[in-house]
């Protein structure tokens, strides 16, 4: 009589009792990260336990500790996984924009578009995981206790690249104004990407938060006009 094969979920749970193979380990890590990402996006860091993540992923809690350590380390792993992709895409986009234009033809709006467009494209084409990730980043960006430190750790280099590019384009701008303008830009950007549905009800169906093409048509010029106005005013 042939023994029945264990189910994938049972195999995942069994993996918590020994050292998983390399290939299986990579699959299980991704499964855990996917489960944690969705839960953190819906309930926030403090609203999720490692036991809940394990249940969602179909693995033993011990396996989460084996791969990631404590809950904060798991959260950081979730954050880092897609942050690296975003940073590379935005860096490449801004470099391509600068390479394709001489200083006389560069615009503030063009630089901002190069910075934001990769996020819109990824959100539109990347699937449900990316939607959860952008919702999670929006939460972290508005978390006073440790959100600023987390955002700085994962995203500061590419933000500094944006600021320095704008400074080159508008050398008269004060750095404090450029950083304030980025503060306002990131709020608009992350609210748009989190697709909360707020504008749907507010506009009585005239606008839809999931309509990222409508966002694309407006966000770059909106942010650029704000930059230009603040720079012209000179922080007075």
Torsion of the alpha carbons at 28, 33, 38 and 43, rounded to the nearest 10 = 120
Its pTM stands at: 0.84
Average pLDDT for the chain: 89
Alpha helices, H only, 142-210: 147-169, 175-194, 198-202
Q: pLDDT at position 236, please?
A: 59
Give the model's confidence band at 20: pLDDT under 50 very low, under 70 low, under 90 confident, else very high.
Answer: low
Q: pLDDT at position 143, please?
A: 87
Distance CA 233, CA 38 (A): 43
3-state helix, strand, coil in the chain (%, to 5): 75, 0, 25
DSSP state of 6: P
Q: pLDDT at position 27, please?
A: 87
Q: pLDDT at position 145, please?
A: 81
Q: If you average pLDDT over residues 199-208, what whole number do you get? A: 98
Q: pLDDT at position 57, please?
A: 95
Cα–Cα distances in Å, from 65 out to 74, 107, 136?
9, 48, 22
Is the pLDDT confidence value at 24 over 70? no
Is the pLDDT confidence value at 21 over 60? no
Q: pLDDT at position 90, please?
A: 97
Is the pLDDT confidence value at 14 over 60? no
Q: What are 30's two structure tokens?
A: 């991704």
Is the pLDDT confidence value at 6 over 90? no
Each as own residue / partner, the long-range contacts of residues 187-194 (CB below 8 Å, 24 or more positions apart, any chain) are: 187/141, 188/219, 188/222, 188/223, 189/116, 189/119, 189/219, 189/223, 190/134, 190/137, 190/138, 190/141, 191/138, 192/219, 193/119, 193/120, 193/123, 193/134, 193/137, 193/138, 194/134, 194/135, 194/138
Structure confidence by residue, pLDDT tens digits, 164-180? 999 999 999 999 999 99
Structure confidence by residue, pLDDT tens digits, 60-71? 999 999 999 999
Give the model's confidence band at 72: pLDDT under 50 very low, under 70 low, under 90 confident, else very high.
Answer: very high
């Amino acid at each position: 009589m042939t023994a029945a094969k264990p189910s994938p979920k049972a195999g995942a749970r069994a993996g918590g009792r020994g050292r998983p193979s390399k290939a299986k380990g990579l699959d299980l890590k991704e499964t855990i990260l996917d489960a944690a990402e969705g839960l953190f996006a819906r309930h926030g860091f403090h609203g999720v336990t490692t036991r809940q993540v394990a249940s969602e992923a179909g693995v033993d809690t011990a396996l989460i500790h084996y791969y990631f350590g404590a809950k904060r380390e798991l959260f950081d792993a979730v954050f880092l996984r897609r942050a690296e992709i975003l940073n590379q895409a935005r860096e490449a986009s801004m470099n391509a924009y600068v390479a394709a234009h001489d200083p006389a033809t560069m615009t503030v709006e063009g630089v901002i578009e190069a910075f934001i467009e990769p996020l819109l494209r990824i959100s539109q084409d990347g699937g449900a995981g990316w939607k959860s990730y952008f919702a999670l980043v929006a939460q972290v960006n508005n978390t006073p206790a440790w959100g600023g430190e987390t955002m700085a750790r994962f995203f500061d280099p590419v933000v500094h690249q944006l600021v320095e590019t704008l400074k080159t384009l508008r050398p008269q701008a004060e750095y404090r104004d450029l950083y304030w303008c980025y503060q306002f830009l990131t709020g608009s950007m992350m609210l748009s990407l989190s697709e909360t549905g707020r504008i749907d009800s507010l506009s009585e169906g005239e606008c839809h938060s999931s309509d990222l093409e409508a966002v694309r048509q407006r966000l770059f010029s909106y942010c650029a006009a704000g930059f230009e106005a603040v720079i012209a005013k000179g922080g007075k």
